[in-house]
Amino acid sequence: KDVEDEEKHLRFPPNFLLGAATAAYQIEGAWNVSGKGESTWDRLVHEHPDRIYNGDTGDVAANSYYQYKEDVAILKNLGFKSYRFSVSWPRILPTGFPNKINAEGVQYYHDLIDELKANGIEPMLTLYHWDHPQVLEDMGGWLNEEMANWFGDYARIIFREYGSKVKKFITINEPKAVCKNGYSLGIHAPGKRLPGLGEYMCIHNVLKSHATAYRIYDSEFRSTYQGEVGVLLDVMAYMPQNFEFDAAAETSFQFNVGWTMHPIFSKEGDYPSVMKQLVGNRSKAEGFMQSRLPVFSDYWINLIRSSADFLAVNHYTSRLVVSGTMGEIPSHEHDQGVREVVDSFWKSSASNWLKVVPEGFRYILVQLARNYGNPPIYITENGVSDHGTLNDDDRIYYYREYLKQMLLAIYEDGVDIRGYFLWSLLDNFEWNEGYSERFGIVFVDYEDPKRQRILKKSASWWKEVIAAGKIETN
Ligand code: PNW
């Protein structure tokens, strides 16, 4: 019986969707051709090469704008059933506005989607993976509440163009990463350092923008196209270091996960009450006249609540939570009144933030299901970095152990997980780390103008896993 159970726990459920993920700026290249406008990432890498490892850029990247057919052929060869890619907003709207729709850009994604479908691969389209038109940033970007209208206009064009072919849309990749890295720490584009203020304003407008796009799909496209629109979250597991820190870990969960989950997936909507309290109190103590956490009107609370057909989850790693403080004053880190640590026994990767903690995956999946009514979940990113080797046994180990934990969450805990997309199909432009940290199951030769692709050992492992419908343990 135990052996039978174990065997069953290695098998994917029927109709489970296995796919691979990428993002436009990280693979496309072709940054200034075919009518594309400038994005915030184009601006950052060109103006501040010092902020990127080796001064690397996404100007050419993996050249997928021209080599997408090769990428699709690889997906097909490995047996993936789905491909998650993102659309470059300024490739569609070079002026940032619908006064000029770039026909060549629109055509590129039609060609990609058609190629996928011709090969039996289901497209999953992310509208925004961090590269918005620079002109919108010049008007404040995610700090301007008009962004909800600008994003809505863009979303309408995407739904109208691709809605007959694409049935799964994701609005915004990782609100928390966008807002903390881009508008609080200032390490990602647009590089604004506004800790304690920027990240809160940004999330506020990202939530409004997401909901605006969702409602547009609902009222203008759903009855015709019958697709789904999901919201995507980047989540670590925040586990108490021991039971003494249960309350600290709960606060951490509310600040990091509840921040965007509660407004969308809870019955009452709005930010978690512990956030409203803590940020309110600290703001007062610091001499502000109002809370640094912006306030939603009832109109927005209702528009944002239930604005998702599914939950997309990007998960890589975990933290242990203890009491104490972290971060500068003011900041979202500091507002929590807790401290995050890592276990020195956790295995490392090429990325300093990414420790290998398979059990954290099951932990956070169960927590999401229990707190928010067990919504349908797609894992839309999961993977690990190295410095670039074809014999990537560490990557195989990571996938195997994380997949096992995901299957336990499905079979033992009843979490409603419908699919899994690995990050990433290709070695790509890893933001500030340039091409030094590699997440691909396919190696890309960045010395080669042709950007030759070579399957890594992990790609062959995945091919077997998909063909067998279960995790291969050897
Ligand atoms: C993802 N975290 O971001 C991005 O979506 C990808 O573009 C990127 O290449 C990939 O990670 C690898 O870095 C993350 O808090 C943001 O654990 C936040 C976290 C993890 C990944």
d(CA 82, CA 166): 11
Short-list 197, 195, 183, CA closest to 291: 197
Ligand 1, atom 20: nearest CA belongs to which residue?
A: 316
* Catalytic residue list contains 381: yes
CA nearest ligand 1 atom 7, residue:
23
Ligand 1 mutation target, pool 56, 234, 386, 402, most atoms within 8 A of CB:
234
User: Ligand 1 center to residue 315 CA distance, Å?
Assistant: 8
**Whether residue 70 lies in the annotated active site:** no
Question: What ipTM goes with this model?
Answer: 0.94
Ligand 1 atom closest to residue 430's alpha carbon, by position in its atom list: 9
What does pTM read for this prediction? 0.98
Tens digit of each residue's pLDDT (9 = 90 or more) over 197-249: 999 999 999 999 999 999 999 999 999 999 999 999 999 999 999 999 999 99
Letter for the amino acid at 179?
A: C
Picking from 422, 449, 427, 378, the residue whose alpha carbon sits closest to that of residue 78 is 422
b/e for 55-84, b at 16 or more Cβ within 10 A?
A: ebbbebbbbbbebbebbbebbbebebbbbb
Smallest Cα–Cα separation from 113: which of 169, 154, 59, 155?
Answer: 169
CA-nearest residue for atom 19, ligand 1, is: 234
407-419 pLDDT, tens digit each: 999 999 999 999 9
List of residues 6+ apart from 319 with CB closer than 8 A: 236, 237, 238, 239, 252, 340, 341, 342
Query: How close are the terminal C-alpha atoms of the chain, in Å?
Result: 22
CA of 380 to the centre of ligand 1 (A): 11
Q: For residue 433, is it left (φ>0), alpha (ψ between -120 and 50) or beta?
A: alpha
C-alpha distance from residue 472 to each of 10, 382, 408, 462, 468 (Å): 8, 18, 16, 9, 8
Nearest alpha carbon to residue 152 among 110, 93, 102? 93
Query: Are the C-beta atoms of 369 and 416 separated by less than 8 Å?
Result: yes
Per-residue tens of pLDDT for the chain, all 474 residues = 677 777 789 999 999 999 999 999 999 999 999 999 999 999 999 999 999 999 999 999 999 999 999 999 999 999 999 999 999 999 999 999 999 999 999 999 999 999 999 999 999 999 999 999 999 999 999 999 999 999 999 999 999 999 999 999 999 999 999 999 999 999 999 999 999 999 999 999 999 999 999 999 999 999 999 999 999 999 999 999 999 999 999 999 999 999 999 999 999 999 999 999 999 999 999 999 999 999 999 999 999 999 999 999 999 999 999 999 999 999 999 999 999 999 999 999 999 999 999 999 999 999 999 999 999 999 999 999 999 999 999 999 999 999 999 999 999 999 999 999 999 999 999 999 999 999 999 999 999 999 999 999 999 999 999 999 999 886
**pLDDT value of position 63:** 98
Say how many C-beta atoms besides its own lie within 10 A of residue 393's C-beta.
12
Residue 451: per-residue pLDDT: 98
**Hey, how many other C-beta atoms are within 10 angstroms of the C-beta on 214?**
25
Looking at residue 418, its amino acid is R
Active-site annotation holder among 174, 340, 430, 437: 174
Q: Which of 38, 115, 381, 430 is catalytic?
A: 381
Ligand 1 pocket list (CB less than 6 A): 23, 26, 173-174, 177, 234, 236, 314, 316-317, 381, 423, 430, 439
Interior CA angle at 439 toward 390 and 182, to 5°? Answer: 155
Ligand 1 center from residue 351 Cα (angstroms): 10
3-state secondary structure the chain: CHHHHHHHCCECCCCCEEEEECCHHHHCCCCCCCCCCCEHHHHHHHHCHHHCHHHCCCCCCCCHHHHHHHHHHHHHHHCCCEEEEECCHHHHCCCCCCCCCCHHHHHHHHHHHHHHHHCCCEEEEEEECCCCEHHHHHCCHHHCCCHHHHHHHHHHHHHHHHCCCCCEEEEECCHHHHHHHHHCCCCCCCCCCCCCCHHHHHHHHHHHHHHHHHHHHHHHHHHHHCCEEEEEEECCEEEECCHHHHHHHHHHHHHHHHHHHHHHHCCCCCCCHHHHHHHHHHHHHCCCCCCCCCCCCHHHHHHHCCCCCEEEEECCCEEEEEECCCCCCCCHHHHCCEEEECCCCCECCCCCCCCECHHHHHHHHHHHHHHCCCCCEEEEECCCCECCCCCCHHHHHHHHHHHHHHHHHHHCCCCCEEEEEEECCECCCCHHHCCCCECCCEEECCCCCCCCEEECHHHHHHHHHHHHCECCCC
The pLDDT of residue 474 is 63
User: 44 alpha carbon to ligand 1 midpoint, in Å?
Assistant: 18
Tokens of 406: 């995901």
